[in-house]
Structure 1
Amino acid sequence: MTAVAKTTEHLPAKVSTKHTASAGQYLTFILGGESYAIGILHTKEIIDYGYLTEVPMMPSFVRGVINLRGSAVPVIDLQARFGKGNTLIDKRTSIIIVETLRDTEEGEPQDIGIIVDAVNEVVEINQNDIEPAPSFGASVPSNFINAMAKRDDSFVILLNVNRVLSIEEMAAVSRGVENA
């Protein structure tokens, strides 16, 4: 047994199989040619891309705000948030209104719009189709990914909405812009 122990002690640690995604309904969308999904319970509505009011001194991924039934809702360019440049606007571009929780102790809800290339459909994802996110090689920061879901012959990236759209983290980026 000691020979086996010596040969395995130099191997990398086992990749964690933990993920926080669970079976359920997900809204799928395309962004930069890749498929993503967010839990349907986070989704409030989908609207056509329309007029945005730009807000000065914001990070490049904050494209502006929209007036949604009398409330100012910030709109995030998800592709820019992932560090992949701005989304090119065309006729299929949509804004998904997502409800997130603020990073406060109260965890109060906050509506945020995210710009996506196109909205696909709502799909049912089973638990046995959910795999842990890779620890390397992902096109978005790994802390933004809950898991990967097998769909046909490919994968859909299941996003961690509260992490991607963390108000406090985005505010910290904004403060960095102000100090530049």
Structure 2
Amino acid sequence: MEQFLIFISGGQEFALEIKNISKIIEYIEPQRIPEASSFVQGVIPYNNSVLPVISLSARLYGTSESAIKDKNVIIAIWKEKEIGFVVEDIKGIITIEDTDIEMSNKDFRISKDYIMGYIKKNDEIIVILDINKIFTLDQEVELLEINEQIN
């Protein structure tokens, strides 16, 4: 059995393993970073430090969730550092049996590396994201450089 945090981004339900989640906070308007990628919303103050904030919708779909009023920030552990993911809504935490998870099929043409698998819940399909594969190598380098500059 595994626990997942279920949330909405881009109108789609996603899941992250709970072991990668540090905290969920209300959305704070980030301070923009010059010349950052479009999915990097900026940085916010967090725990006597500064936290990079990523628009998950912009990263995955190239769109923004700016029209959503009550956004949340998922504070997650990525590359042994904390990073914030802006999402539209938090659905909750669920415990799933391994048999309820369908692993990503490499032969399926629209599958991406960052999709770890799928949870079938009633008539819905929830996409499980692999937090360590959400970004391309160039994006990882950019985020790690931002993290170095601000901390």
Tell me, yes or no, whether TM beats 0.5. yes
Query: Which residue number in structure 2 is paired with residue 114 of structure 1?
Result: 85
**3-state DSSP class of the match of 1:41?**
helix
Distance 1:82 1:165 in 2: 9
Distance 1:169 1:38 in 2: 22
Query: Which residue number in structure 1 is paired with residue 139 of structure 2?
Result: 170
Per the normalisation by structure 2, the TM-score is 0.85
State the 1:153 CA deviation: 1.2
- 1:17-28 matches, cutoff 5 A: 23-28=1-6
Question: Which structure features the higher share of strand residues?
Answer: 2
Letter in structure 1 aligned against 2:98: Q
Q: Is 1:37–1:156's contact at 8 Å kept on the other side of the alignment?
A: yes
In percent, how many aligned pairs have the same letter?
Answer: 28
Query: Which residue number in structure 2 is paired with residue 42 of structure 1?
Result: 20
- Count of equivalent residues: 141
Distance 1:89 1:123 in 2: 28
Structure 1: 5+ residue runs without aligned partners?
Answer: 1-22, 102-108, 175-180
Distance 1:153 1:56 in 2: 43
**3-state DSSP class of the match of 1:82?**
helix
Query: Which residue number in structure 1 is paired with residue 10 of structure 2?
Result: 32
Per the normalisation by structure 1, the TM-score is 0.72
Instruction: Specify whether residues 173 and 44 from structure 1 end up closer, same or farther in structure 2 by C-alpha distance, changes over 3 A only.
Output: closer
Distance 1:173 1:110 in 2: 14
Letter in structure 1 aligned against 2:138: E
Greater than 3 Å deviation, 4+ residue runs: 171-174
Whether 2:100 is the aligned partner of 1:129: answer: yes
- 1:29-178 matches, cutoff 5 A: 29-101=7-79, 109-134=80-105, 135-137=108-110, 142-165=112-135, 168-172=137-141
Q: Is 2:10–2:61's contact at 8 Å kept on the other side of the alignment?
A: no
Instruction: Specify whether residues 156 and 85 from structure 1 end up closer, same or farther in structure 2 by C-alpha distance, changes over 3 A only.
Output: same
Instruction: Specify whether residues 171 and 27 from structure 1 end up closer, same or farther in structure 2 by C-alpha distance, changes over 3 A only.
Output: closer
State the 1:82 CA deviation: 1.1
**3-state DSSP class of the match of 2:113?**
helix
The structure number with the bigger radius of gyration is 1
Distance 1:100 1:171 in 2: 10
Structure 2: 5+ residue runs without aligned partners?
Answer: 144-151
State the 1:85 CA deviation: 1.2
Q: Is 2:118–2:125's contact at 8 Å kept on the other side of the alignment?
A: yes
Letter in structure 2 aligned against 1:33: G
